[in-house]
């Protein structure tokens, strides 16, 4: 039967491979569709669970017929009439026998039908014989040698030439790969066995011939003393004449078929002993075969270990690409989302990232291992590590991206939460504990960060530690805390200033009001030379010091409660003192406003003039020394003007040591701490204003003006008193 024969480049479906696949065509081209064929036949995923058999022998000795009978294949056979070569190159087919898959035969047997090359059709093509022998030895566990019974013992025959070639190329291969070169089984199938000569005799003859060939070989140095049994095992079978004894032929072939089963022991007659297996994983077979064939065709030294390494590299890369598809599917969405977050400046914590990273990494590695671990150990180990680092580069980026998002969000949440809590505290009253708020919020954010980080840890990944990141997060929390604390210090300072302001407003106001009573605010009866009035500045200064000291004390306690540093406290107190002085001065200035002061002076004068020592209002009589009392009261009140003009202590007749009290600017103060400060004369020397000037409350010109106006007012009061005295007489 010479039906359609599938060949290079034109096949896609299983049906089209009815005759198997022509792995090597007559022009010695390798068929790139082999991988597809193995996939269609379901052999590719079999790992090592497949077998390869090649058949050798002279042309037209019934090889293809035998294979078809044994394995249910449809290799082309010569028709009885034509006697013309049919098998060209090398064909391969999967076992199609009914017995396949029923334990009678092993799984996934691949059979290679090799073009016979005794030269009848191809002339002196010894070249292909050598190449196909090399190819078969590099791939096959079993080499079936098909031989007519009548050829046995014909030492010079074509078969013996072929075997010589097989032995030679085997030695060649062995030289390159002394360690792992597996043994091969030479399975002699003697055809047209008449039965006259028992198989055992035929076997002995063959072994004798083989040994003879072997000893006649030109062995490479080092292998001179090697024996044929060092490399080959032998098996023998005989089959009856197919045409003369067709039924017996079928029977015997069926029996022979049972030897192609999975071995149970070492010598149960099965031909598939593990030691023959080439250990090329099925999914790499086509690549391996192609590489081998390429070396052979180009007459390069065929070095199987190198081929296996190349295969391993190729396949491991291929498998890496395959498993990375699944990795990408799972990981790319996270990467995109993270990139979006960064691009939009809104970093996001990606939910489920940790689980996805862990399972994807594990699954990807497992998928890789499943297929790749069958290949060359060294290459596999290296490629596995490469795959790991390939994944880890991306996982690490996700890891750090996630941590950086957690970091940014954590910092924001921290300052927001603290601010919110402070605001809530302020609403409830000033008595919130800033230090406690910070500690609580910080703790919550730290544990959130840690939890987030731990959820994306990958066991065994060298980069997968977050101590460094945690440290950075903690550090920035501290920095933000510092900033928030400075804000809080400002708030505290403002509160303290206000408190000082309201306290001073009251006490200084009282002092000035007291002036109006003419008793100097002491409650003592007014007298010409009132010590109480003279010490008004002493009292104000004392009250001021006391008030500020109290404020300082409160400030210090509060500031320390939220861990303000000694330095920060020092700066805060310095600022508080300066601001308090400014507050005091403003209050005094308010009291000293012209109208206010004139009123006070008039009240003071009237108090002294119109009331007697007991505080009883005077009813003027013409006999009264109105003028004397007037002069006395006026002079007494007039002394207030110079007194009030300068903030001076009574004892020293000089201003209080404001500069000493405020103190030098603390070394820890920043420009920002000075920004809103009003210069104080005698304290800030560079301002060019002296302490005298700072403490001058009424300027000389104003003093004169005030004196003049007061005198006029006093005169008016005097005139009025005079009039009332006269009026009293006429009454
Ligand atoms: P191949 O070239 O070795 O593959 O041989 P084929 O299988 O194509 O068969 C060549 C010829 O031998 C065909 O005409 C077959 O019918 C014939 N043939 C096949 N098997 C046997 C056999 O067992 N005995 C004999 N005598 N002829 C056979
Ligand atoms: Mg054939």
pLDDT digits (tens, 9 = 90+) for 283-301: 999 999 999 999 999 988 8
Q: Give distance in angstroms: CA of 77 to centre of ligand 1.
A: 7
Closest-CA residue, ligand 1 atom 6, reads 62
The answer, yes or no, to whether residue 323 has pLDDT greater than 60, is yes
pLDDT of residue 529: 44
Shortest-distance ligand to the CA of residue 246: 1
The answer, yes or no, to whether residue 474 has pLDDT greater than 50, is yes
pLDDT-based confidence at 728, cuts 50/70/90? low
366-403 tens-digit pLDDT:
999 999 999 999 999 999 999 999 999 999 999 999 99
Token readout for 129 is 């014989």
Token readout for 595 is 């109208």
Q: Give distance in angstroms: CA of 89 to centre of ligand 1.
A: 18
Q: Give distance in angstroms: CA of 282 to centre of ligand 1.
A: 31
- Beta carbon of 242 within 6 Å of any ligand 1 atom: yes
- Beta carbon of 77 within 6 Å of any ligand 1 atom: yes
The answer, yes or no, to whether residue 1 has pLDDT greater than 50, is no
pLDDT of residue 430: 63
Shortest-distance ligand to the CA of residue 68: 1
pLDDT-based confidence at 45, cuts 50/70/90? very high
Most confident option among 187-191, 479-483, 621-625:
187-191
How many other C-beta atoms are found inside a 10 Å radius of the C-beta of residue 297? 14
Mean pLDDT of the 553-574 span: 89
The answer, yes or no, to whether residue 6 has pLDDT greater than 50, is no
- Beta carbon of 241 within 6 Å of any ligand 1 atom: yes
- Beta carbon of 80 within 6 Å of any ligand 1 atom: yes
- Beta carbon of 243 within 6 Å of any ligand 1 atom: yes
Contact of 601 with 637, CB cutoff 8 Å: yes
Contact of 282 with 38, CB cutoff 8 Å: yes
With a CB cutoff of 8 Å and minimum separation 6, the contacts of 295 are: 301, 302, 303, 307
411-440 tens-digit pLDDT:
999 999 999 998 998 888 767 888 889 999
pLDDT of residue 8: 45
With a CB cutoff of 8 Å and minimum separation 6, the contacts of 20 are: 6, 73, 74, 75, 91, 92, 93, 94, 111, 113
The answer, yes or no, to whether residue 490 has pLDDT greater than 90, is no
Shortest-distance ligand to the CA of residue 117: 1
The three-state secondary structure class of 390 is helix
- Beta carbon of 78 within 6 Å of any ligand 1 atom: yes
**CA gap 418, 487 in Å, rounded:** 11
**Pairing verdict, β 90-94 and 21-24:** antiparallel
For 221-252, give one letter per residue: b (16+ CB within 10 A) or e: eeeeeeebeebbeebbbbbbbbeebeeebeeb
The single residue listed with the structure tokens 């023998």 is 236
- The DSSP string of 434-470 is HHHHHHHHHHHHHHHHHHHHHHT--TT-TT---HHHH
Which atom of ligand 1 is nearest to 68's Cα?
Answer: 7
pLDDT of residue 83: 59
Q: Look over the chain and give the mean of its residue pLDDT values, rounded to a whole number.
A: 87
With a CB cutoff of 8 Å and minimum separation 6, the contacts of 655 are: 646, 647, 648, 649, 682, 691, 692, 694, 695
pLDDT of residue 685: 74
**CA gap 674, 228 in Å, rounded:** 102
In total, the chain counts a number of residues equal to 731
Shortest-distance ligand to the CA of residue 88: 2
pLDDT of residue 12: 61
- The DSSP string of 311-323 is HHHHHHHHHHHHH
R_g over Cα of the chain: 57
Contact of 19 with 64, CB cutoff 8 Å: no
Mutational pocket test of ligand 1: of 59, 74, 78, the residue with most ligand atoms within 8 Å of the beta carbon? 78
With a CB cutoff of 8 Å and minimum separation 6, the contacts of 618 are: 610, 611, 612, 624, 629
pLDDT of residue 726: 80
Contact of 233 with 184, CB cutoff 8 Å: yes
Q: Give distance in angstroms: CA of 32 to centre of ligand 2.
A: 22
Mutational pocket test of ligand 1: of 77, 158, 247, the residue with most ligand atoms within 8 Å of the beta carbon? 77
Closest-CA residue, ligand 1 atom 2, reads 60
The answer, yes or no, to whether residue 511 has pLDDT greater than 60, is yes
Shortest-distance ligand to the CA of residue 66: 1
- Beta carbon of 194 within 6 Å of any ligand 1 atom: no
The answer, yes or no, to whether residue 495 has pLDDT greater than 70, is yes
Mean pLDDT of the 607-620 span: 84
The three-state secondary structure class of 705 is helix
Top-confidence residue, 610 or 186? 186
The answer, yes or no, to whether residue 588 has pLDDT greater than 80, is yes
594-608 tens-digit pLDDT:
788 899 899 889 888
**CA gap 60, 64 in Å, rounded:** 9
The single residue listed with the structure tokens 């079978």 is 237
Q: Give distance in angstroms: CA of 430 to centre of ligand 1.
A: 110
Q: Give distance in angstroms: CA of 143 to centre of ligand 2.
A: 15
**CA gap 683, 664 in Å, rounded:** 8
Token readout for 134 is 């090399």
**CA gap 385, 391 in Å, rounded:** 10
The answer, yes or no, to whether residue 189 has pLDDT greater than 90, is yes
Which atom of ligand 1 is nearest to 76's Cα?
Answer: 8
* 187 φ/ψ angles, rounded to the nearest 5 degrees: -105, 105
Tell which residue, 133, 111, 139, has the closest CA to residue 260: 111
Q: Give distance in angstroms: CA of 571 to centre of ligand 1.
A: 111
- Beta carbon of 224 within 6 Å of any ligand 1 atom: no
Top-confidence residue, 475 or 14? 475
- Beta carbon of 729 within 6 Å of any ligand 1 atom: no
Most confident option among 7-16, 328-337, 423-432, 490-499:
328-337
- What is the DSSP-derived secondary structure letter of residue 646? B
pLDDT-based confidence at 42, cuts 50/70/90? very high
The single residue listed with the structure tokens 């052999």 is 43
The three-state secondary structure class of 511 is helix
**CA gap 440, 435 in Å, rounded:** 9
244-288 tens-digit pLDDT:
999 999 999 999 999 999 988 767 788 999 999 999 999 999 999
Q: Give distance in angstroms: CA of 110 to centre of ligand 2.
A: 16
pLDDT of residue 288: 95
The answer, yes or no, to whether residue 10 has pLDDT greater than 60, is no
Q: Give distance in angstroms: CA of 190 to centre of ligand 1.
A: 13
- Beta carbon of 140 within 6 Å of any ligand 1 atom: no
Dihedral of alpha carbons 226, 227, 228, 232, sign: negative
- Beta carbon of 193 within 6 Å of any ligand 1 atom: no
**CA gap 349, 354 in Å, rounded:** 11
> Which of 31-40, 271-280, 509-518 has the least mean pLDDT?
509-518
Report percent pLDDT > 90 for the chain: 55
- Beta carbon of 82 within 6 Å of any ligand 1 atom: no
Closest-CA residue, ligand 1 atom 16, reads 80
pLDDT of residue 575: 92
Token readout for 673 is 């701490």
| H helix runs in 344-433, sequence order | 353-372, 377-428
* 155 φ/ψ angles, rounded to the nearest 5 degrees: -60, -35
pLDDT-based confidence at 50, cuts 50/70/90? very high
pLDDT of residue 116: 73
Q: Give distance in angstroms: CA of 250 to centre of ligand 1.
A: 14
Q: Give distance in angstroms: CA of 62 to centre of ligand 1.
A: 3
The answer, yes or no, to whether residue 122 has pLDDT greater than 70, is no
pLDDT of residue 267: 72
- What is the DSSP-derived secondary structure letter of residue 564? -
Q: Give distance in angstroms: CA of 668 to centre of ligand 1.
A: 108
Mean pLDDT of the 562-575 span: 89
> Which of 99-103, 182-186, 348-352, 638-642 has the least mean pLDDT?
99-103
Shortest-distance ligand to the CA of residue 250: 1
Top-confidence residue, 159 or 675? 675
Bridge partners, 145 (sequence order): 56, 188
- Beta carbon of 73 within 6 Å of any ligand 1 atom: no
């Amino acid at each position: 039967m010479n039906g359609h024969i599938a060949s290079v480049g034109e096949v896609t479906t299983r049906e089209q491979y009815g005759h198997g696949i022509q792995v090597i065509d007559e022009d010695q081209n390798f068929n790139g569709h082999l991988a597809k064929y193995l996939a269609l036949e379901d052999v590719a995923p079999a790992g090592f669970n497949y077998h390869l058999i090649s058949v050798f022998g002279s042309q037209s000795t019934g090889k293809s017929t035998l294979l078809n009978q044994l394995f249910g294949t449809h290799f082309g056979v010569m028709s009885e009439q034509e006697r013309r070569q049919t098998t060209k190159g090398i064909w391969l087919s999967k076992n199609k026998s009914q017995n396949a898959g029923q334990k009678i035969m092993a799984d996934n047997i691949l059979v290679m039908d090799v073009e016979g090359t005794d030269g009848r059709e191809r002339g002196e093509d010894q070249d292909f014989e050598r190449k196909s022998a090399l190819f078969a030895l590099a791939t096959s566990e079993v080499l079936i040698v098909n031989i007519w019974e009548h050829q046995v013992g014909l030492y010079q025959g074509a078969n013996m030439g072929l075997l010589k070639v097989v032995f030679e190329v085997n030695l060649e291969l062995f030289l390159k790969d002394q360690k792992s070169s597996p043994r091969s089984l030479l399975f002699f199938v003697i055809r047209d066995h008449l039965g006259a000569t028992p198989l055992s005799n035929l076997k002995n003859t063959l072994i004798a011939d083989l040994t003879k060939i072997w000893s006649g070989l030109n062995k490479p140095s080092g292998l001179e003393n090697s024996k044929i049994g060092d490399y080959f095992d032998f098996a023998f079978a005989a089959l009856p004449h197919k045409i003369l004894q067709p039924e017996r032929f079928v029977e015997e072939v069926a029996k022979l078929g049972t030897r192609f089963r999975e071995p149970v022991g070492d010598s149960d007659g099965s031909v598939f002993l593990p030691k023959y297996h080439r250990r090329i994983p099925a999914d790499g077979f086509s690549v391996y075969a192609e590489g081998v064939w390429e070396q052979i065709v180009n007459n390069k030294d065929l070095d199987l270990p190198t081929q296996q390494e190349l295969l391993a590299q190729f396949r491991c890369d291929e498998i890496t690409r395959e498993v990375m598809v699944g990795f990408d599917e799972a990981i790319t969405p996270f990467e995109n989302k993270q990139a979006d977050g960064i691009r939009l400046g809104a970093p996001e914590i990606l939910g489920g990232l940790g689980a996805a990273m862990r399972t994807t990494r594990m699954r990807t590695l497992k998928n890789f291992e499943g297929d790749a671990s069958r290949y060359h150990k060294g290459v596999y180990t290296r490629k596995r590590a490469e795959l790991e680092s390939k994944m880890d580069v991306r996982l690490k980026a996700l890891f750090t991206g996630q941590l950086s998002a957690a970091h940014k969000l954590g910092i924001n949440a921290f300052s927001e939460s603290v601010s919110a809590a402070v605001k809530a505290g302020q609403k409830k009253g000033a008595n919130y504990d800033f230090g406690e708020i910070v500690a609580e919020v910080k703790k919550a954010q730290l544990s959130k960060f840690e939890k987030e980080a731990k959820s994306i840890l990958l066991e065994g990944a060298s980069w997968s530690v977050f101590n460094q990141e945690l440290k950075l997060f903690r550090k920035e929390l501290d920095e933000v805390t510092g900033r928030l604390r400075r804000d809080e210090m400002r708030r505290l300072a403002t509160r303290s200033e206000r408190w000082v302001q309201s306290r001073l407003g009251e006490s200084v106001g009282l002092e000035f009001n007291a002036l109006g009573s003419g008793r100097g605010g002491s409650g003592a009866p007014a007298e010409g030379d009132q010590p109480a009035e003279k010490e008004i500045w002493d009292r104000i200064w004392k009250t001021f010091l006391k008030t500020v000291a109290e404020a300082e004390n409160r400030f210090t306690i509060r500031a320390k409660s939220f861990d303000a540093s000694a330095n920060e406290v020092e700066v805060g107190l310095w600022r508080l003192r300066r601001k308090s002085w400014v507050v005091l001065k403003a209050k005094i200035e308010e009291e000293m406003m012209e109208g206010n002061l004139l009123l006070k002076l008039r009240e003071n004068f009237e108090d002294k003039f119109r009331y007697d020592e007991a505080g009883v209002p005077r009813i003027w009589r013409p006999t009264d020394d109105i003028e004397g009392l007037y002069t006395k009261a006026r002079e007494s009140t007039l002394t207030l003007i110079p007194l009030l003009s300068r903030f001076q202590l009574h004892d020293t007749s000089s201003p209080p040591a404001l500069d000493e009290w405020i103190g030098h600017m603390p070394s820890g103060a920043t420009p920002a701490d000075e920004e809103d400060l009003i210069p104080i004369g005698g304290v800030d020397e560079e301002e060019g204003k002296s302490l005298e000037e700072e403490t001058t409350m009424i300027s000389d010109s104003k003093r004169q003006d005030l004196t003049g106006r007061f005198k006029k007012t006093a005169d008016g009061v005097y005139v009025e008193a005079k009039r009332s005295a006269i009026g009293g007489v006429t009454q």
